[in-house]
Structure 1
Amino acid sequence: MSNRRRTTTDPLDEPRRGPRRDRRGRGFRGPVALPGPLSPDGVPGAWDRRARFDTAVIGAVARLRPRYADALDALDVAVEDVPVLPRRWPDEVPLGIVDPHPRRPRVVLFRWPLQHRAPDRAELDELVLTVLVDQLATLWQTDADEIDPRS
C-alpha cells in the first residue's frame, strides 16, 4: 500500500471530457437511453420527418384559421405519403389534391414530394402553406392571393 497522496492534477481524478457514449455516430447506448426510474419510456429521440411535416401542416392551418375559421371547420385537411398515380403519368408529381365532396370536402397534402422539394424546416413550412393555399383557392374557386395571409 502506498502513502502517496493524490493531487488535483492527477489525470485519474479529472472528469472525462468530450462525447462518451456516441462513438461512431450510432447514438446513445446503455443505461442513458434505456427506460429507468427517471425516464420510464426511455429517452425520446429526435423528431422524425413525419412528425415535423405534421407540425408544418398544423402550423399552416393555424395561420389561416383567424381569417377562415368557419370555412376551415367545414373541410378536412389530410396528409398522405405519396399520391397514387397511373403507370405512365405525364406531368410532375402533384403536391396536393382537392376532393370536392358535397358534404365534407377534403384537401390532401403529399408528404414525400413536399419534403423532397424543401431543403430545410423553414422552407418546408412555407411550401406547405403555399400548397395549402393553392388547394383551398381551387376548392373555393377564388384567387390564391386573396387567401394567402402573407400578402
Structure 2
Amino acid sequence: MKDAAKASGSKEQTADTTGDEGEAPAAKPKKRKDNKGKDAPHYSVKEPAGYYPILPVQVVPAAERPRVFAYASSTRRDFEVFNRYDLSQDLDFLILEIRQGSHSPFLLVLMYNQDAPDDTQQRGRSFERFKALALPDMPIVIAMDANEHHPLWEREKL
C-alpha cells in the first residue's frame, strides 16, 4: 500500500497493529487474540484475497472504530491508490489519491456524514469538517452516506 505520509518518514499502521509510536494500544474490555496469538484490534476488517483494507486514520483510538474504509486491489497494476493522511485523518472520511497512467490524478473521498460525538473535540457534521480542509487543486470525487432524513421519507407517511 502506498502512502503520502511515508514520504515524510512516518510509519503506517493498519488494523492489525496497535499503538506503535507512543500511542496507547487499542483495547476492548474483553481482549481477543488473532490467529497468531497477538492481541486483536477492537474492530475487525476482513481482508479478501487480492485486496487490502485502507483505514481513514493511521492509528484508531481505543474504544473507537472507523466509520468508513476502502479496499484496494493488490493484483491490479493499471492504477495506484495513495492514502492522503497528510490532508486529514478523520474516522468519518477517507481521502485517497488515484493515479492511472497518463491520466490526471484525482482525489476519491469516502464519507459517512454525521454529527461529531459529544466526547470529542471535533465539531460539526463530517461534511462541514471536510469542507474546512485545505485540499490540492485537483478533481475530487465524493462518495457519501449523507445520513440525512426527512419526515416524508418515513414509511408510515406513505
The TM-score by the shorter chain falls in which range? under 0.3
Q: Output the TM-score relative to the length of structure 2.
A: 0.23
Larger Rg: 1
Higher helix share: 1
Of Structure 1 and Structure 2, the greater strand share is in: 2
- Per the normalisation by structure 1, the TM-score is 0.24
